[in-house]
Structure 1
Amino acid sequence: MPTIESLHALFAARVTGLDLRRGLSADEAAAVCEALDRHSVLVFPGQDIDDEAQLAFSRAIGPLEVTRAGASGAGGYLLVLTNIGPDGRIAPPTDRQVLNNLANRLWHADSSFKSVPARASLLSAREIPREGADTEFASMRAAWAEMPERLKARLRGQVAVHDFGWSRSLVAPELVTAAERADWPPVRQPVVLGGPLGEALYLGAHARTIEGMAEEEARALIEEAMEFATQPRFVHAHRWRRHDLVLWDNRAVLHRATPFRSTAERRHMVRTTIAGQGPLLATAAAAE
C-alpha cells in the first residue's frame, strides 16, 4: 500500500511505495482515490513511465476524457505539452503549441470550458528544463473556507460563464480558431462547488462573467475572488524533476505553469485527464 506524506499545511501530498509501471491493485487504486479526495494534489516521484503505463494508471482512477480538437494529441487520450517541434528542435515563439503553453500560465481548472468539466488531471514529466516551468496549485477549498463573508455572500449561488474562445484570445487574438469557438461555446458553471470535504471556489481563467451582472461588475468580482484565492498561503509550488507524475483534482484546485527559457531549454510533458461524471450545475443542485 502507498505511503502518503503531506507537503503543505492545507493540501498536497507525496505518494511513495507504488511502481506505476506494473499497474495498481484495486486496494491501491482505492487508496489513491481516497488520498486525492483528501489532499487534492498528489505527487508521485520517480515514476519512469511510458504512455501506456500512464494510460493504465489513469484508467485505474477513472474514465478518460478525449483530448479536444486543436490540441496536440487531439482525438486520443494523451495531451502533449511541449515546446519541441516535429523536427526535434525547440519550436519558435510563434508556434501554435508554444502559444497554447502560454495560456497554461494563467490560473485555471482543466476543461472548465466544457459542459462536463474534467474531474482530475495527471501530468508526467518526460523532459524538463534546468530552471522554471514549475506548476503552482492553489487550494480553492482552503481559500473558500477563509474568504471574507461579504465576498462569499456575493459569490454563493452564482453562475459563471466559462468561455474558451475568450480566454485564449487574452493570450493571442489569433490563438483560437473559428472551428474551436464553434466546438466550445460558452458554458454555465457554478461559482461554488459542494463536496464531502467542504465547498470550493470554481473560477479560473476561463470564467468570463457572472450571469445577471453587468460585465464590468462581474469582472471586478471575479478578479477580487481570484486575487484572494491565489494568495501565497493557499499555494503549493511543485518543482518538477524528471519522471515525476502529479495527479490533481480540478474541482478543488486551480493550477498554472511558471515561465522558463522556452526558446533555449526543452520541456516535454504528457497529460491524461479523468472525465467528469456530469454537468456541475446539476451536481450542485442535487447537493442543495
Structure 2
Amino acid sequence: MVFAVSTTATEAEQPKTLTFREVYHPPSAASSNGRVVSIKHENNVNFGAEIYGIDLNNFNAADFALISDALHRHKLLVFKEQPRMLTPKQQYRLTSCFDPDEKTGGFAHGADPVLLSENGVTIYGLPNRPAINEQPQVHILGRGEVPSDHFDFPPGFKVKGINHVDFHLPPHIPQEEREKGASRFYQWHWDGSLYKIPPPRVGCLLAVRTPKGPDVTVHWGDGTGRTKKIAPGATAMIAGSQALDLLDPELREIVLHSRIEYAPHAFQWMSTARSTQLGHLIETEDREIPLDKLSPWSEENICIYPMVWKNPVTGEKSLQVHGQGAFKLYLKSSPDGEETVITDLKEVRAFMHRIMSPVLSPENIYAHPHEEQDVILWYNRALWHSITEFPESYGPRIMHQCNIAASDHPSQ
C-alpha cells in the first residue's frame, strides 16, 4: 500500500492481463454459509467485521452478495479460517466482483515497468511493489525475503520495505530505538493514482508472512507525545465518516461542498519532497518537482474530487482526502455559496491539516494485526490507512495486495 513513482512500461513489456470476463464465472447458489461477526473495539473505532464460513478460493454468487453487503456496512472485513492461501487469481476475482462495469482489469497505478529479467523470467513492478506474473494486478508488499519457490520470483528475492528516514522530516527515530520497537505511521492515504486513473472501490490484502515479535510503539512525532501500541506490521485504519463527524459544524459545512484538485502525476511530483512526521501531509519546502519537469500530462486527466464521498449502499458520508497529493482547493460553505480557490501550497496544506488532524488520534485508529493466511478487504472509498514500521529482526512481512482501477471516479 505504499505509493511509489512508476515509469510507464510499453505494451510489449507487460505480462498478459486477465480480464474480469476471463476470471469471474460465478456459480449459482441459493444461500451462503458465511457468518458476519462485528469486531468489538475498546476505543472509538466503530467499523470492521470478521467473516467465517466462506472459502475465498471457492466463493459463489450468494457468498459474494453477503460479502458486498457486509463490506459496505462494516467498511473492513477480515476473513478467518481460510483452509489454504488465497490464490492470486481468486484474489483478483474477488476484487473484480465489486466493479463489474470495469472491463480493462487494470492495476490502479497504471502499467508496471520491468523490475528484473533473469533465467528467462521477467518480473514487473518496483522494488517495494513487485507484481506476480500469474495475476499482474496482484503485487507483493512488505519487507524481506519471499518464501522459497514463490511463483516466478528467483531464490532469495527480497521486497524493499519502507523507511521513514527516506521520506519523513527529521528528527528521525534512531535505528537502535527502532530495533527496540519504536515505530511511525508512514503515509495516511486511500489507494489511488490521483491522476487520470479512477481510484479502486476496494482493496484486498492477503497475509503470507507476518513479522514475529512484541508489539511496537507508534510515535506521532508531532510534539504532542502521543503514542499507540500495535502489533508489528499492522495496517492502521481510520474511518472517513468519523473524520467528518469530528469537524466543527462550520468546517463540516465547508468540506461537504468543497473539492480538491490533486497534482498531475502526484507521486512523481512529491517524490523529492518530505512528509510530515505523522505521514498525513507534505511539508512545504519547495522541494516538489516542477510541473514542467514531470512526465507528460494533460489538464483533462487532472483529478478533482469532492472532499466527501457517499457510500452507495448505506448513504453514509466520509471525508476522503489525500493530504500529500493535494495541489489546489475549491472551497464553498454552501451549495450556492461563492467558491474560493486556494492555490498557495502552504495554505492548501494548512487547511488539509485542519480537516485531517482531529481524527488522527490513538482512540480513533484501528491497527489490524495480520495473521498468516487471513485476508482483509476494505472499502477504499470510506477508510484511510497507513502501514507501520517494525524491527527488521522480527522477520519478513510478505503481503499480496490487489487493487484495480475503478470504472468511475468518486462522487458525493
Q: TM-score normalized by structure 1?
A: 0.82
1:99, distance to aligned residue in structure 2 (A):
4.7
The match for 2:253 is: 153
What SS is found at the alignment partner of 1:161? strand
Deviates more, 1:33-42 or 1:259-268: 259-268
1:153, distance to aligned residue in structure 2 (A):
3.0
Matches within 5 A, 1:135-150: 135-150=235-250
The match for 1:187 is: 303
The match for 2:87 is: 50
1:220, distance to aligned residue in structure 2 (A):
0.7
Residue type of the alignment partner of 1:194:
K
- Give the helix-richer structure, 1 or 2: 1
* 8 Å contact kept, 1:46–1:244: yes
4+ long deviations beyond 6 Å: 100-104, 172-175
1:247, distance to aligned residue in structure 2 (A):
0.4
* 8 Å contact kept, 1:113–1:206: no
Q: Are 1:201 and 2:281 matched, yes or no?
A: no
Cα distance in 2, alignment partners of residues 269 and 130 from structure 1: 14
Deviates more, 1:223-232 or 1:26-35: 223-232
Matches within 5 A, 1:1-288: 1-7=33-39, 8=41, 10-22=46-58, 24-47=59-82, 48-62=85-99, 63=102, 64-66=105-107, 68=110, 69-70=112-113, 71=125, 72-73=130-131, 76-84=136-144, 88-89=155-156, 91=158, 97-99=160-162, 105-111=186-192, 113-115=194-196, 116-131=198-213, 132-162=232-262, 163-170=266-273, 181-182=295-296, 187-195=303-311, 196-211=314-329, 212-213=341-342, 214-262=344-392, 265-280=395-410, 283-284=411-412
1:263, distance to aligned residue in structure 2 (A):
6.8
1:166, distance to aligned residue in structure 2 (A):
3.6
* 8 Å contact kept, 1:165–1:180: yes
What SS is found at the alignment partner of 1:248? strand
The match for 2:4 is: none
Can you give the 5+ residue segments of structure 1 that lack an aligned partner in the other structure?
none
1:236-270 deviation per Cα after TM superposition (whole angstroms, max 9, x unaligned): 11001111111001110000111112476211111
Instruction: Output the aligned Cα RMSD.
Output: 3.2
Cα distance in 2, alignment partners of residues 12 and 192 from structure 1: 20
**Structure with the larger RCO, 1 or 2 (CA within 8 Å, 6+ apart):** 1
What SS is found at the alignment partner of 2:70? helix
Cα distance in 2, alignment partners of residues 90 and 263 from structure 1: 18
The match for 2:30 is: none
What SS is found at the alignment partner of 1:189? strand
1:112, distance to aligned residue in structure 2 (A):
5.1
Can you give the 5+ residue segments of structure 2 that lack an aligned partner in the other structure?
1-32, 114-124, 146-152, 168-184, 214-231, 276-286, 330-340
What SS is found at the alignment partner of 1:98? coil
Cα distance in 2, alignment partners of residues 88 and 227 from structure 1: 44
1:188, distance to aligned residue in structure 2 (A):
1.8
Deviates more, 1:181-190 or 1:234-243: 181-190
Cα distance in 1, alignment partners of residues 324 and 186 from structure 2: 12
**Count of matched residue pairs:** 275
* 8 Å contact kept, 1:90–1:266: no
The match for 2:11 is: none
What SS is found at the alignment partner of 2:396? coil
Cα distance in 2, alignment partners of residues 124 and 219 from structure 1: 34
Cα distance in 2, alignment partners of residues 209 and 50 from structure 1: 38
* 8 Å contact kept, 1:45–1:245: yes
